[in-house]
Structure 1
Amino acid sequence: MKKLLLFAVSVMLITCISAQENRTSADAEDGQSLEDKIQNPIANIASFPIIYNLSTNENNSNVVNFQPVIPVQLSKKWLLITQAIIPVMNVATQTGYENGLGNITFLGAITPTKQSEFTWGAGPAFMLPAVNNKLGFNKFSIGPSVIALKQNNGFTYGLLLQNFFSVAGPSNTEDVNYLYTQVILSKNLNNGWYLYSNPIITADWNATSNKQWTIPLGAGAGKLITHNRYLPINLKAGLFKYVAHPTEADWLIQAQATFILKSK
């Protein structure tokens, strides 16, 4: 499974790196237009994404993530990007459906203030115990987080890596060793439209081998809406096929609305 994952990521990255398109002198510099910034998780944008995830099989699971992003200016050269992920879940379990909050995570990534084609960020990530202990890990966990991406000729490609390790919690519950990664791939089109494939791939290293990985592969389309009476809105939706999932789910249907509060 690891070889399949590495092969799929390599093919997508090589495809984006090799593709090119013509740009005019009127275009904004790579990484600095709003169309580019919405594809960059560590851009200098205050935003409020709301993401709906539907995993389908015999018993569907529904998860709505609220993911506020707030940048903090540390100095002229450095920026702190803070992001919380608050999952509200309706998930099938062995004893029926469970509802409530899963593991809330918080990221603080330090990144250069100056926007350019290549950007990176690094910092700590924190995971709180699940409010409903049937909907996630039951220990407080901390881990490193790194992200690197490049934006060139309308393409964005990169990778986010995190791994959480439990540091506190009940001794009678299992320790946490949890990998969270996101592939970042997108291509800007005309009039605010774009194509993307940003699968979130996870691994619970303490689970049995047939239940370690969650790997969705697919793609979607989105549009940045700036000409309205209110805030700019980024809308997108995608369809992903699970090639691995601990519950043997088949498909992931995803829809997202991001309200852009402030951009620099």
Structure 2
Amino acid sequence: MTGRRTGCGRLGLRLALAISIGLASSFAIAQEEREKSTDDLAKAAQNPVADMISVPFQNNFNFNVGPHKQLQNVLNIQPVIPITLNKDWNLITRWITPVIAQPALTVTGEREFGLGDINPSFFFSPKQPTHGIIWGIGPTFVFPTGTDKTLTAGKYSAGPAFVALAIEGPWVVGILVNNVWSFAGKSNRSAVNAMTLQPFVNYNFHGGWYLTSSPIITANWEAGHGDRWTVPIGGGFGRVFKIGKQPVNAQLAAYYNVAKPSGGADWQLRAQLQFLFPK
């Protein structure tokens, strides 16, 4: 009887050990799949023409703006919506709607708060990379929707936009560029001829963490040489994670302007929360 009980005990111990190993393996596989899914989402969030709906809220704190060296706050609401055109092409729509808290821009001026000029862009992008390069091209527009004269250029503008990037291992590296020219609007406002150039470099770790640098370089071709360029340098970090079942991408970065127009910000703190809706 004792030998039989000992044999049953050994069998039960082996069974419990096998179940424990199976559960541990299942947990490890599930954890690995979750990390892989999060890592893939992080790279998709860093791709401006990804086939994925996303809604970023990007808040830019611009320090020492204007004659009184005050804080300017710009919240960019930037929904990205892909539209399938056919089996080979997508149309990626990207709207930037700025909400601005503007400090006084002259000695006798006042602070203003309101909507800035809306900037929609439309990228025609192939579903498959071309020789390893993901790209998109199309028109971009600026509409004079600003609610105060200090928040708008007062002009309708349009021009070409282009984005190209490569994803290799943990790296996501690319560039986004556009140039707009005014073609209509208030006659008492200056003509618009402006370029935006945004190189971006991201290095991804496991668990959705990443390092990032994506300075927004601008050139106002209508301004004098000394007031033409805004050139920031810097970077930050971010992570993709879930709130409940909702994937989000959170990011924090800082940039110092090595070149800026008169009255422009010395440096910028950028905080972003991006809601992701993968297929």
Shared fold per TM-score greater than 0.5 = yes
Q: Deviations over 1:7-35 (max 9, x none)?
A: xxxxxxxxxxxxxxxxxxx997xxx9222
Runs of 4+ in 1 over 6 A off after TM superposition: none
1:61 alignment partner, SS class: strand
Aligned to 1:147: 163
Task: Check whether the contact 1:232–1:259 (CA below 8 A) recurs between aligned residues.
Answer: yes
C-alpha deviation, 1:124, in angstroms: 0.3
Aligned to 1:113: 127
Quick one: distance in 2 between partners of 1:209 and 1:100?
Answer: 30
Higher helix share: 2
1:160 alignment partner AA? L
State the percentage of identical aligned residues: 37
CA radius of gyration, larger in: 2
Superposition map of 1:159-238 within 5 A? 159-226=175-242, 228-238=243-253
The partner residue of 1:71 within 82, 86, 91 is: 82
Task: Check whether the contact 1:80–1:109 (CA below 8 A) recurs between aligned residues.
Answer: yes
1:43 alignment partner, SS class: coil
Q: Given the two structures, how large is their TM-score scaled by the length of structure 2?
A: 0.80
Structure 1: gaps spanning 5 or more residues: 1-25
Quick one: distance in 2 between partners of 1:123 and 1:135?
Answer: 26
C-alpha deviation, 1:84, in angstroms: 0.4
Structure 2: gaps spanning 5 or more residues: 1-32
Which region of structure 1 is more displaced relative to structure 2, 111-120 or 164-173?
111-120
Superposition map of 1:1-264 within 5 A? 33-57=40-64, 58-92=69-103, 93-94=105-106, 95-114=109-128, 117-131=132-146, 132-226=148-242, 228-246=243-261, 247-261=263-277, 263-264=278-279
Q: CA RMSD in A?
A: 1.8
Quick one: distance in 2 between partners of 1:140 and 1:233?
Answer: 34
Q: Given the two structures, how large is their TM-score scaled by the length of structure 1?
A: 0.84
Task: Check whether the contact 1:130–1:137 (CA below 8 A) recurs between aligned residues.
Answer: no
2:85 alignment partner AA? L
C-alpha deviation, 1:190, in angstroms: 1.8
2:246 alignment partner, SS class: coil
1:219 alignment partner AA? G
